[in-house]
Amino acid sequence: MRKILIAGTAVLSLCAVGAVFAGEDAAELFKTHCQSCHGADGGRAPGSGIAPIRGQNSADLLNMLEGYRDGTFGGQRKQVMVGVVKRLSDEQMKSLAEYAAAL
């Protein structure tokens, strides 16, 4: 019964700012995988010439994440991002993109 309640809460979270996947919600995924470079609000540019992720829409962010994973996107920090996205599932990348777009 408790698992059903947790699963229902996860679906509701998807409607707000992100989904719950593998026990991690979007905020925790962001904190774990993104915050150290991009800042808690996504507004910090991790390096010269790299745009902050805050203010971008979820579709564009997801396309960038997918591009890092398949090698079609990236600049000077590409290797850092490739290392991050290779550990994420498709659902986690979508969740992160939605969460970051809502910052």
Other CB atoms within 10 Å distance of the CB of residue 24: 17
Beta strands in the chain (DSSP E): none
pLDDT (tens digit per residue) in 30-75: 999 899 888 899 998 766 667 788 899 999 999 999 999 999 998 7
Residue 24 pLDDT: 72
- Whether the pLDDT of residue 22 is over 90: the answer is no
| 88 contacts: CB under 8 Å, gap ≥ 6 | 29, 33, 65, 96
Confidence at 11, pLDDT banded by 50, 70, 90: very low
Say whether 24 sits in a helix, a strand or coil: strand
Dihedral pair phi/psi, residue 21, rounded to 5° = -130, 135
Q: Is the dihedral of CA 28, 29, 33, 38 positive or negative?
A: negative
Residue 37 pLDDT: 85
Winning range, highest mean pLDDT, from 21-25, 40-44, 45-49, 76-80:
40-44
CA distances from 23 to 46, 53, 78 (A): 28, 24, 28
Structural domains in the chain, CATH included, are: 2-101 (1.10.760.10)
Cα separation, 82 vs 85, whole angstroms:
5
Query: pTM score, two decimals?
Result: 0.71
Residue 52 pLDDT: 86
